[in-house]
């Protein structure tokens, strides 16, 4: 127990020192000023239409989706929605999104997954980014409570769980904010979040309300 604790602390210290080093490096970088019209690679990009990219690396990417049937070390066995099988290899350069940027430890069998990566000669996909349980659905807000939104998606009732540190809202195309007090009952809202296999709810990452 003690050893584990020591281990954890030295790990934290290494992480802390590494961050300080990277901060110094980051603040020494070249400054680029301006806005662009190009999209990103964040969670929302998992749903983006495939489009020709300026970047040859992205054009070489492959995409996998399905349910994780087994986690075998750093390899995820994924059963695709159309019966296909994928082996998704995670590396320490793979970003893992599950409501927030997290680590491979958060991935559990039974989770759904979207992965972007590169085909390897051995048939696996070396993942650059995986999005776990990501859902992006248009809902109507049917109720607002302290820690949850009651939503309806079509004729289905869905509970959206709110997380103070991670749930943001965007109103009328504005910047994302932690201010959720402008949500109204009866409003249509695009909900981006992580599906919860255990109770079929959604951990809400972002509420985009049009009005």
Partner 1 sequence: MISLLSTLAPLLCGGLLAATGAGKLFGRQVARQAAGTVLVRLLGDGRRAARALRCVGAAELAVAAGLLAAPRAVASCGAAAVLGAGFLGYLGYAKATAPRSSCGCTAGEEGPIGWRSFTRAALVVAAGLAAPAADGTWWSAPAGRPVASAVLVLLAAAVLVVLFGGVDRLWLLPLRRARLRVFGHPLGGPAAGAPVAASVELLERSLAWQAASAVVRSGLLDHWDEDGWRILRYAGVHEGGQGARPVNVLFALDLAATVDNTPRPAVRVTVVDDATDEVVQVPLPTAAPRTLLPLAEPA
Give residue 39's region: left, alpha or beta (phi > 0; psi -120 to 50): beta
Q: Of 68 and 114, which CB lies nearer to partner 1 in the complex structure?
A: 114
Least distance to partner 1, CB of residue 120, Å: 14
Contact 75, 91 (CB under 8 A): no
Which of 1-9, 56-64, 73-81, 104-112 is the region at the interface with partner 1 (rule: CB under 8 A)?
Answer: 56-64
Q: Which of 139, 123, 154 is nearest to 185 (CA)?
A: 139
Q: 63 is written with which tokens?
A: 């995409």
Question: 53: helix, coil or strand?
Answer: coil
Which of 2-10, 31-39, 62-70, 74-82 is the region at the interface with partner 1 (rule: CB under 8 A)?
Answer: 31-39
| Contact mark string toward partner 1, 183..202, x via CB under 8 A | x-xx-------------x--
Contact 127, 95 (CB under 8 A): no
According to DSSP, the residues that pair with 17 across neighbouring strands are: none
User: Can you tell me which of 76, 97, 104, 139 binds partner 1, judged by CB under 8 A?
Assistant: 97
C-alpha–C-alpha distance, residues 76 and 12, integer Å: 27
Q: Torsions phi, psi of 92, nearest 5? A: -80, 0
Q: Which of 115, 191, 126, 122 is nearest to 153 (CA)?
A: 191
Q: Is 146 among the residues that bind partner 1 (CB under 8 A)?
A: yes
Least distance to partner 1, CB of residue 4, Å: 23
Q: In sequence order, what are the residues at sequence separation of 6 or more whose Cβ sits closer than 8 angstroms to the Cβ of residue 164?
A: 178
User: Can you tell me which of 1, 35, 73, 211 binds partner 1, judged by CB under 8 A?
Assistant: 35
Burial class (CB in 10 A: 0-12, 13-18, 19+), 165: exposed
Residues 153-172 within binding reach of partner 1 (CB under 8 A): 155-157, 162, 164, 166, 168
Q: Of 85 and 103, which CB lies nearer to partner 1 in the complex structure?
A: 103
Residues 57-76 within binding reach of partner 1 (CB under 8 A): 57-58
User: Can you tell me which of 25, 50, 73, 211 binds partner 1, judged by CB under 8 A?
Assistant: 25
Which of 4-12, 62-70, 73-81, 90-98 is the region at the interface with partner 1 (rule: CB under 8 A)?
Answer: 90-98
Binding site for partner 1 (CB under 8 A): 19-23, 25-43, 53-58, 93-95, 97, 100-101, 128-129, 131, 142-146, 150, 155-157, 162, 164, 166, 168, 174-181, 183, 185-186, 200, 205-206
């Amino acid at each position: 127990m003690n050893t584990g604790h020591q281990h954890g602390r030295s790990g934290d210290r290494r992480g802390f020192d590494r961050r300080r080093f990277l901060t110094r490096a980051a603040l020494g970088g070249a400054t680029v000023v301006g806005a662009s019209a190009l999209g990103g690679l964040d969670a929302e990009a998992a749903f983006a239409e495939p489009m020709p990219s300026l970047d040859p690396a992205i054009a070489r990417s492959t995409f996998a989706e399905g349910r994780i049937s087994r986690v075998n070390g750093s390899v995820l066995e994924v059963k695709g929605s159309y019966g296909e099988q994928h082996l998704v290899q995670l590396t320490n350069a793979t970003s893992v999104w599950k409501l927030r940027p997290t680590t491979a430890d958060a991935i559990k069998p039974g989770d759904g997954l979207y992965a972007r990566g590169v085909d390897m000669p051995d048939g696996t996909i070396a993942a650059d980014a995986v999005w776990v349980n990501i859902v992006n659905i248009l809902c109507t807000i049917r109720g607002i409570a302290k820690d949850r939104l009651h939503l309806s998606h079509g004729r289905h009732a869905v509970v959206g769980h709110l997380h103070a540190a991670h749930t943001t809202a965007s109103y009328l195309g504005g910047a994302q904010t932690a201010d959720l007090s402008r949500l109204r009952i009866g409003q249509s809202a695009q909900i981006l979040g992580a599906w919860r296999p255990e109770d079929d709810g959604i951990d809400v990452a972002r509420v985009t309300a049009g009005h």
